[in-house]
């Protein structure tokens, strides 16, 4: 069981594909609930358990988390603490490397059908999306918050 001092917060990584992007908004959701001392649970079924200090008792300042590997590159975040609370989280590094300029020979490539994204409705059983950086993001965030106290 989580202690009251470090309640377990379900930190949604907003449907996997969002990785860093979604985790940032999820962290904001956690902050909103954390201010009231509540456990925040966002999108069900796609979340990661992250124990973080929920109350506003961090030391003010900016704390940079360790760099964590995220398959395509490295993820590193900075937590900015103001008034003891997590004011913002910045992503300092995200996977953008390994996109080498190498190109496969694009002569005689077939024409492929292209379209504008459109929402589909109807029954689905399971969702496919990407989860590349969530773990690395959370690891770096956890490291940054550990430096921030309480």
Partner 1 sequence: MTVARETRLLMGMPITVEIVDPVSPGVLSDAFEYFAGVDERFSLYKDDSEISALNEGRSSYSQISGEMREVLELAERTRRESNGFFEIRRPTGGLDPSGIVKGWAVRNAADLIRQSGAENFCVEAGGDIQCRGKNRHGEAWIVGIQNPLNAGEIIKRVTPEGRGVATSGTSARGQHIYNPHNPSQPIDDIVSLTVIGPDVLEADRFATAGFAMGKAGIFFIEQLDGIEGYMVEANGRATCTSGFGAFVSP
Q: Which residues bind partner 1 (CB under 8 A)?
A: 14-22, 24, 43, 45-49, 69-72, 90-100, 102-104, 106, 109-110, 112-135, 138-139
Q: What is the DSSP annotation of 25-93? A: HHHHHHHHHHTTTPPP--STTSEEEEE---SS-SPSEEEEPPPEE-SSSEEEEEEEEETTEEEEEEEEE
Question: Which DSSP state fits 111?
Answer: P
CA-nearest of 137, 133, 150, 145 to 62 is 145
Nearer to partner 1 (CB atom), residue 127 or residue 150:
127
Beta-carbon contacts of 138 under 8 Å, excluding residues fewer than 6 positions away, are 11, 13, 23, 48, 50
**CB 77, min distance to partner 1, A:** 11
Closest approach of Cβ 104 to partner 1, in Å? 5
Nearer to partner 1, 32 or 49 (CB): 49
CB of 141 to partner 1, least distance (A): 13
Q: How far is the CB of 41 from partner 1 (least distance, A)?
A: 13
Residue number, 80 or 149, with CB nearest to partner 1: 80
Q: Which is nearer to partner 1, 67 or 85 (CB)?
A: 67
Q: Which CB atom, from 83 or from 98, has the smaller least distance to partner 1?
A: 98
Q: Strand, coil or helix: what is 118?
A: coil
What's the closest the beta carbon of residue 91 comes to partner 1, in angstroms?
Answer: 5
């Amino acid at each position: 069981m989580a202690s009251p001092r470090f309640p377990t917060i379900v930190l949604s990584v907003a449907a996997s594909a969002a990785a860093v992007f979604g985790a940032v908004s999820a962290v904001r959701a956690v902050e909103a609930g954390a201010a009231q001392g509540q456990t925040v649970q966002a999108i069900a079924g796609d979340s990661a358990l992250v124990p973080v200090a929920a109350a506003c008792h961090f030391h003010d300042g900016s704390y940079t988390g360790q760099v964590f590997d995220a398959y395509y590159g490295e993820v590193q975040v900075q937590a900015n603490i103001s008034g003891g609370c997590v004011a913002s989280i910045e992503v300092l590094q995200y996977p953008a490397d390994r996109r080498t300029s190498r190109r496969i020979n694009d002569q005689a490539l077939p024409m492929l059908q292209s379209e504008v994204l459109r929402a589909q409705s109807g029954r689905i059983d399971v969702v496919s999306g990407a989860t590349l950086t969530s773990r690395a993001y959370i690891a770096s965030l956890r490291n940054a918050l550990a430096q921030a106290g309480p």
